[in-house]
Amino acid sequence: MLGWLKNRVLGVTSKNGGGSTARNQTSRGERKKQGGSSSKRNSRNRTSNTQRAPHPVAISLNETQHHKQLRVIPRAEHGISRTQIDDAALKVLYRLNKAGFKACLVGGAVRDLLLKRVPKDFDVATDATPEEVADLFRNCRLIGRRFRLAHVQFGRMIIEVATFRAAHDNSAAARQNAEGRILRDNVYGDISEDVWRRDFGANALYYDISNFSVIDFVGGMEDIQQRRLRLIGDPEMRYREDPVRMLRAVRFSAKLGFSIDESCRDFIYDQGSLLLDIPAARLYEEALKLFHSGHAETSLQGLREYRLLQYLFPSVVDHLADPVTSKFLELAMQSTDNRVQNDQPITPAFLFAALLWPELQQIAQKRVDEGLPYSIAIQKAATSLLTEQVRCVSIPKRFTTVMRDIWALQTRFAYRKGKRMQAVLEHAKFRAGYDFLCLRAKAGEPVQDDCDWWTQIQVGPKPSPAGSGDTDTHAATTRNRPGRRRRRRPPRA
């Protein structure tokens, strides 16, 4: 039985011609006959930058050794149930399988299900090309140039479908720069080749919907059992292919509580500078995953430990030796983690404002020493600081605007009477600015009096916009004052 499953995984045809490869080819041929116009449309839509790898594909000695360790774990032994998989993902898997394609749940979803965690999303891998996936699903759109993907949308749920990928060749479908970083990766292959395009062993497990087994080519099941993060292949080459894998290692270690394997850990210390070649927009997305997944505090510790924080937020590193700054960032991370765990809304603007606050204060103080008022100095400092920061992590303007509001409110919390105080209380970002102020006070900054006063003003009676004075007497005087008599116009003749 196990031998038959292995043959099915690798696409080996049986003696009587009943192999999965033959079935796939027959199904595709029948589909072309039934829908010739659709097939022609797909052929026109395919770009010259996508191709399938020539077969047979040469496998290195290292890969051959790993294939000898192939495990096909039947349903009774792995514990993953279809009731744990989102209905939308099951629809995609079933339809691909019914159309004659191989379809597997892959990546973090399989890993999380084995760890008895709730997956955040469900990714599917298949031998269907993106255009063939689009032909099967009307609610599908194709995205990506570096990695061509199909997104199948069910309401607010998006199932990402990727085609099995193979080793690179010299065609336009796969390109690397001089340092080994992958610029394009659209060479298609089969499942036994696709596993080598994955990053960590724990993320390289496939849940096959055709027989509900888990396929393990590289010892990923053992990595999960030992709670270990281990790169597939040579660590240096894999990090150079995609330096963001260093950030992913820190994130998965913080999220899952896994240890980073020693073979993968040493290279991070020496080659973090490879992140300088990554687009700032992509680093922004990685920063959100690091700090907005409920483990921001642990992620920050990991970035500091592996000396990667300087490539995301370089201005922060010089201030971490200050105990007040260190405490302030720790409290900000804890606050964000608590809100994520309690399903409360969060915004990147608050955490980014906290990370850049120490440097902002230092720049603003220099402007104050030059003679500028503190409120103006904060604005000038914010402009110069954000201009430098977006070169590393491209924070969108909709969030930098909120960051500016939070910072500007810190200069206005000294107002305690009159219309200016009322304007602060009615500010759209008052609550975010107030929370920021209280974190500063808890960290040891000399703003505890301001924090206490604004806390009391929110729970006590609302102050009059006119400022100090007896509001009851003022109201009584207003009520007893006779109104102006309305002058009536004489009727027209």
Q: Sort strands 123-126 and 157-163 into parallel, antiparallel or unpaired.
A: parallel
Q: Which of 52, 331, 324 is nearest to 164 (CA)?
A: 52
Is residue 410 within 8 Å of 430, Cβ to Cβ?
A: no
Cα distances (Å, whole numbers) of residue 178 to 52, 183, 241, 264, 392: 24, 11, 10, 22, 22
Is residue 262 within 8 Å of 293, Cβ to Cβ?
A: no
CA distance 303 to 286: 12
Is residue 104 within 8 Å of 125, Cβ to Cβ?
A: yes
CA distance 118 to 84: 8
DSSP state of 322: S
DSSP string across 399-413 = HHHHHHHHHHHHHHT
Half-sphere exposure of 14 toward its Cβ, with a 13 Å CA cutoff?
12
CA distance 135 to 206: 24
Is residue 153 within 8 Å of 114, Cβ to Cβ?
A: no
Burial of 321 (0-12, 13-18, 19+ CB in 10 A): exposed
CA distance 83 to 77: 16
In 90-212 the beta strands, taken as DSSP E runs, fall at 103-106, 123-126, 140-143, 149-154, 157-163, 174-176, 182-185, 187-188, 205-208
- The catalytic residues are 121, 123, 199
Q: Which amino acid is at 394?
A: S
